[in-house]
Amino acid sequence: MHQLIVVSRPEDWPLEIEGVEKVSARAYLTDPKWSALKSARVYNLCRSYRYQANGYYVSLLAGARGHKPLPNIGTIQDFKSRNVIRLSSSDLNRLIETSLKPLQSDHFVLSIYFGRNLAARHERLARALFNQFPAPLLQARFERLADGWLLRRLGTLAFSDIPESHLEFVREAAMRYFAGQRPRRSARRNTRFDLAMLVNSAETDPPSDERALQRFERAGQAVGFNVERIGPEQIGRLAEFDALLIRETTAVNHHTYRFARRAAAEGLEVIDDPDSILKCTNKVYLAELLERHRIPAPKTMLVHRDNADRIETELGLPVVLKQPDSAFSVGVSRVDDAESLGQVVAALLKNSDLVVAQEYLPTPFDWRVGVMDGRALYVCRYYMARGHWQIIQREGVRKLEGNADTMPVEQAPPAVVETALKAAGLIGLGLYGVDLKEVNGRVVVIEVNDNPSIDAGCEDAVLKDQLYRDILEVMLKRISARKGMA
């Protein structure tokens, strides 16, 4: 892959880096040689990224040409948004406080050269800001307020503003960065596209275990993806990839949703896409959607303060109460008596104006049908935890799970598979896990999950490695179609 430093004038980057070619902005924008280049990383060091200036067009056309610009247009726009800067300051609050706590002054300027800073104590903060706002040369300005440090401004840094005493460090940082970004031929052989897999090592209940993540990586290599794991702090790297696979539990008010939104805006193929996250993570929306389209579901009430007293009359007891964004059995309660019912509903309504109440349907197991692109991939039975009414029983930090088994799709009850496909189709063509129950010969949908669990030895027990290839092949096909390579 070609590596290009694009500058307004040659003197704007006097350093020579082996394997990196310096190009003027005018040449990059007008010379057919560069527009015809199939693959390149473009490091945009133009003097101005102002709207419709040369620097703006360099990043804009680099994206259109299929090159990988740094910064890209999304980052350039983010520099102009006070809200984005403020949100980043909030996300990095603990790291900012740790890094700047020993300072005596109330103002601090942090220079970031290819993700690095001269001072070792600021290295983590420099890298975190670079990952969120990837640009070769950055400058962050902080101000100490009564309640702590605030990122007041973040923008690009001109080479001419770098102190002479820093130049050798800048050269070293640039050389290390360019060398680190150079593809490893052996690892990338036979791959056409780059896929980022978002994982979080700190997550207690991730949707895929380590063995499953490794199988995704092997499947990627087999179908034509170079798969690289990225973490929650690396949102700024999304423009380097062609696709994003989220393997961290999703939520709307969460960095996973911001990853999905940013990736979709960058034109990546995204699983889970932001629309699916919005729809699936809110039980109120799902309840309304299923009812409107007449998909069988347990008898359901959308509870608010004015109808909470009718739950027992309409649904009976026991009854199941769900906070709108519940997941992995967290935020789901079974209430057995009228006194507890009032207390639990009141507690839930403190955090949400609407709560979902459903009739209690005891079964020895729940069905789970994995669906992608409108096709059933796997069918599992998740058995209830011993002596409990859910598949997961939580006792403080302790978690007890029931057994699970997986069967070929064609051996599962047709009504279960057909109902799951109808329910998933209301959400989209992403990757979903549809939970259902069979009660007296009737199949009902409990919920549709984005980001379904895929663990080695469970969901992949029938298809094994083919399950991972099936998922990634759908993503690959969509990317190829979008790029006119199908």
pLDDT in tens, 257-314: 989 988 998 889 999 999 999 899 888 889 889 998 999 999 999 899 999 999 999 9
Residues 6+ apart with CB under 8 A from 129: 88, 92, 110, 112, 138, 140, 154
List the structure tokens of 219: 């499947």
pLDDT of 216 strictly over 90:
yes
pLDDT of 186 strictly over 60:
no
- Over range 72-76, report the average pLDDT: 82
Q: What is the distance between the alpha carbons of residues 31 and 66, in angstroms, rounded to a whole number?
A: 16
pLDDT band at 188 (very low <50, low <70, confident <90, very high): very low
Q: What is the distance between the alpha carbons of residues 6 and 247, in angstroms, rounded to a whole number?
A: 35
User: Among positive and negative, which fits the CA dihedral 107, 113, 116, 120?
Assistant: negative
pLDDT band at 180 (very low <50, low <70, confident <90, very high): low
CB 43 within 8 A of CB 71: no
- Over range 389-416, report the average pLDDT: 88
Backbone angles phi, psi at 382, to 5 degrees: -105, 115
Q: Smallest Cα–Cα separation from 190: which of 216, 159, 160, 225?
A: 225
pLDDT at 406: 97
List the structure tokens of 443: 């199949």
pLDDT at 189: 44
List the structure tokens of 30: 């007008």
The residue with greater pLDDT, 30 or 455, is 455
375 forms bridges with which residues in the sheet? 372
137 forms bridges with which residues in the sheet? 113
pLDDT at 447: 93
Q: Tell me how long the chain is.
A: 486
pLDDT band at 187 (very low <50, low <70, confident <90, very high): very low
246 forms bridges with which residues in the sheet? 198
pTM, whole model, 2 decimals? Answer: 0.68
Q: Model confidence over 79-104: pLDDT tens digits?
A: 877 766 776 667 688 889 999 989 99
pLDDT band at 125 (very low <50, low <70, confident <90, very high): very high
pLDDT at 179: 77
User: Among positive and negative, which fits the CA dihedral 154, 160, 165, 171?
Assistant: positive
CB 2 within 8 A of CB 37: yes
pLDDT of 19 strictly over 90:
no
Residues 6+ apart with CB under 8 A from 220: 191, 195, 226, 227, 472
Q: Model confidence over 376-392: pLDDT tens digits?
A: 999 999 999 988 888 88
